[in-house]
Structure 1
Amino acid sequence: MLLRTFAEHGDVGRTAASAGQQLDADIDEALVRAWLLAFAELGLLEAPDRTREQLRERQRQTRRRHYEDRWNDKLRALLPRLRELPYYAKTLPAEPPGDDSPIDLASLPVLDKAAVRSHFDEFLPASMPAGGIRWLSTSGTTGERQQVVRSLADWDASQPHTWALNRVVEAARGERFCRLTTPFCDGSECHLRGASRAERTRGPRLSLDSGLDIAALSPARLEQMAAELREHEPAYVLADPSYLAMFADQALRRRLPLPRLRFVITAYELCSALHRQVIERTFECPVYDAYGATEYGALAVQCEAGRYHVNPGASSSSCATTGPATTPASCSSPPSTSD
């Protein structure tokens, strides 16, 4: 409506008056100018001979610039805080970037596990952040387990942004759910094997006791897991796909009654097409795969359409080219320290 009015009159004042009349609200010219500027950035005020693909490319470029500017601002604000830590005080560039210049990620130190292990104490602040911290350990899938520490306040602030990328998942946040994975799944090395149900329950979450060998579950263990699932009445299950697929296959073969779930979230390892097929057939609900890291939590999740979306607060990357701009020669980003 606003675009049509502006196209007809070409006058901000008349557009504001017309919009205010149609919306029965006070619309001032400053607000209309802000809207028109945003529309122009997205290419919506371009000449009519622009193709749809050209408009989409213009909008992609605008979004890319928006995220680049946002990340430069956030990283520029973070660098002074990092310099307070002994490790970064000696590894960050001596001269901070200017207020208007983009930050070259290649000039920043890239962490690997060896650096974290060798300088662990140098990453800790003089005083721990308010609200407590969480000590975690990586799984050790591809190497020695790595201890990491995370602010609980920062953890709680970051995770909702990832789950909000899927509206179905977002709607179920805070409801009861069950988790199924290795008994050593937790970043704090929980050792859940043989633990009582009370010990495996934390708030709305019930961790199922899978035992050490999910492929050799006894009939009694299968029935216990199925019974706990039914009794907990979860809205969804968060699971390692191979663990859940093996449990689901055995439960289906034995015709064990299972609760009706809204969805399943798979994590901890890639959900294969075979695992997804078994889980969907057993629980008759959608399966959404998530990608995460011990030191951050959930980084990305599939939306309702099955596409992966990354939490924009979880990562940053840059590409360098040696040829045409459309052919990246190399990309670099701060790597995850988890396995």
Structure 2
Amino acid sequence: MPSSAPLSLQHRLRTAHPLAPGMRRTLARLDRASTDEVRAFQERRLRALVRWAAARSPYHRAWFAEHDVSPADVRTLADLPRLPLLRRADLVEGAERFLAYPRRLVWPSRSSGTSGSVVTVYRTPGSSAYELAALQRQWGWFGVPPGARRLAIRAAGADASQVAAGGPVTREVPGARQLLLSGYDVARADPARLLAEVRAFAPDAVEGWPSAITALATLLLERGETLPVRAVITSSEVMTAAQRELMGAAYAAPVVDHYGQTERVTLAGTCEAGGYHLFDDYAITELLPVPGERERWEIVGTPLHNWGFPLLRYATGDLVGPAPAGPCPCGRGFARLGAVAGRAEDAFTSADGRPLPLPGTVVDAVRGLREVQIAQLAPGRFEVRMVPGAGAGDDVLAAARADVLAAVERYFGPGQQVGFAVLDRIPRSASGKLRPAVVERAP
């Protein structure tokens, strides 16, 4: 499969996967299974996954050969600590070592996530189909059917030049029942044309970044309009109470939030009773104590679906607080999860005064870098800090600059000033984290 597979092809591979009906049946059965039944499912998958990884993945094959552990020793959840913890650094330098499928059968995904360390991971059609089935099951808890028409507001939308020239603001994915709108286009498009395209599509649900969904909600409310839908599906960002209030006013629908990562090592989300659950049939999730932090645990995931790129005990770097006590009123056997300290970025402003949602997106796709950060020094003036990966030369840095400039032009629009700095290490915040996007005062 080419790494540049278009969205329409990726959608067909997800929805038309021959195992998709069986996946949906399994997930429907486990939706109301007991905790013990879910655990038994996890352990069966774990045993098979460990054997597979030890046989087919170069990294895991080498690790088992070098340590006094046999794949047969990992049989239950209690055996997981026999395996090493994986971290982003293991993927920054050589993600291909984890591949268990031929490269042509997977597609890559890149992100700087919440850490600023750029990672490349790989997905298979089967893992993508399983994730979609898990998410559709969650949406179904709120009355959203699998074939719902969804307005997706993220980064991928119309080209900036099309918007400026009065061309289409949105783009429909053929056969996917999905309309794409860039969160960056909401403020620079003609409002009447934008809303006409959205209403002509007649979405059943709105999904995407909270900041981008809120931008459209603000536009609607400023014009005295609303866009009632069945659900507002959110991810990728920490949501504020003010954003939730705006969404409720504009869309008159419940907010369905889910937590995940580019690495796809665990998945969690809200239920109709207001709980926040781990999807325990998607991944095995460990919560490990954080040294020096009271009532804070790091999320460590072992996904049970991505056979082409098995990651065992991957430490996400995301921290979570204590979960509510007692069972959830929804009655499901899935574990409850506390509040996740997810991706939060400073608000950026373009040269012409537009708000720029989730600005770290412009550095998510760069290649060959160990760390990357974009800083706003003034409205429309930015500096991109880059730390090269091992062996990266001038060609890698030139390609990274070109990728960033193209992304800034596409998402932020023309007229921005972008400078670059090559560093040995990017300074951390007071919390010790490298943030992918920050606002600073120019020196």
Residue deviations 1:234-287, cap 9 Å, x none?
Answer: 1111021122213212321122x4443111111121222211111101121222
In proportion to residue count, which structure has more strand?
A: 2
User: For 1:244-323, what aligned pairs fall within 5 Å after superposition?
Assistant: 244-255=213-224, 257-296=225-264, 299-318=267-286
| 1:118 aligned residue | 93
Q: Distance in 2 between matches of 1:100 and 1:268?
A: 33
Q: Which runs of 5+ in 1 are unaligned?
A: 1-61, 184-189, 322-327
The answer as to whether partners of 1:238 and 1:264 remain within 8 angstroms in 2 is: yes
Q: Letter of the aligned partner of 2:129 in structure 1? A: D
Distance, in Å, in 2 between the alignment partners of 1:90 and 1:197 is 51
1:186-225 superposed matches below 5 A: 193-194=160-161, 197=168, 200-202=171-173, 203-211=176-184, 217-218=187-188, 220-225=189-194
Q: 1:169: how far off?
A: 4.8
**Identity value in percent:** 23
Give the alignment's TM-score, normalised by structure 2. Answer: 0.51
User: Are 2:158 and 2:171, in contact at CA under 8 Å, matched by a contact in 1?
Assistant: no
Q: Which runs of 5+ in 2 are unaligned?
A: 1-32, 290-294, 301-312, 319-342, 344-443
Mapped to 2, the partners of 1:161 and 1:282 lie a distance apart of 27
What amino acid sits opposite 1:78 in the alignment? L
Cα–Cα, structure 1 residues 232 and 191, in superposed 2: closer, same or farther, change >3 Å?
closer
Q: Which has the larger radius of gyration?
A: 1
Distance in 2 separating the partners of 1:320 and 1:296: 18
Alpha carbons 1:319, 1:331 under 8 Å: kept:
yes
8 Å contact kept, 2:50–2:74:
no
Q: 1:161 aligns with which of 127, 130, 134?
A: 134
1:144–1:164 Cα change, 3 Å:
same
Write the distance in 2 (CA, Å) between the matches of 1:153 and 1:118.
Answer: 25
Change in CA separation of 1:71 and 1:108 when aligned onto 2, cut-off 3 Å: same
Q: What is the alpha-carbon distance in structure 2 between the residues aligned to residue 297 and residue 170 of structure 1?
A: 27
Q: CA RMSD in A?
A: 3.5
Q: Which has the higher contact order (CA 8 A, sep 6+)?
A: 2
Q: Distance in 2 between matches of 1:111 and 1:180?
A: 32
The Cα of 1:197 is off from its aligned counterpart by 4.2
Which letter does structure 1 place at the counterpart of 2:254? Answer: P
Query: What is the TM-score when the length of structure 1 is the normalising length?
Result: 0.65
Structure 1 residue 164, shift from structure 2 partner:
1.1
Matches of 1:138 and 1:153 in 2, distance apart? 21
Alpha-carbon contact 1:200-1:206 (below 8 Å) kept: yes
Kept after mapping to 2: 8 A contact 1:192/1:209: no
Look up the SS of the partner of 1:165 in the other structure.
helix
- Larger relative helix fraction: 1
Please tell me whether the aligned partners of residues 239 and 265 of structure 1 are also in contact (alpha carbons under 8 angstroms).
Answer: yes
Q: How many residues align?
A: 260
Give the secondary-structure state (helix, strand or coil) at the position aligned to 1:238: strand
Shift of 1:221: 3.2
The 8 Å contact of residues 317 and 331 in structure 1, kept in 2 or not, is answered as no
Which residue pairs with 2:206 in the alignment? Answer: 237
**Do the aligned residues in 2 keep the contact of 1:162 with 1:298 (CA within 8 Å)?**
no
Select which of 55, 73, 80 maps to 1:105: 80
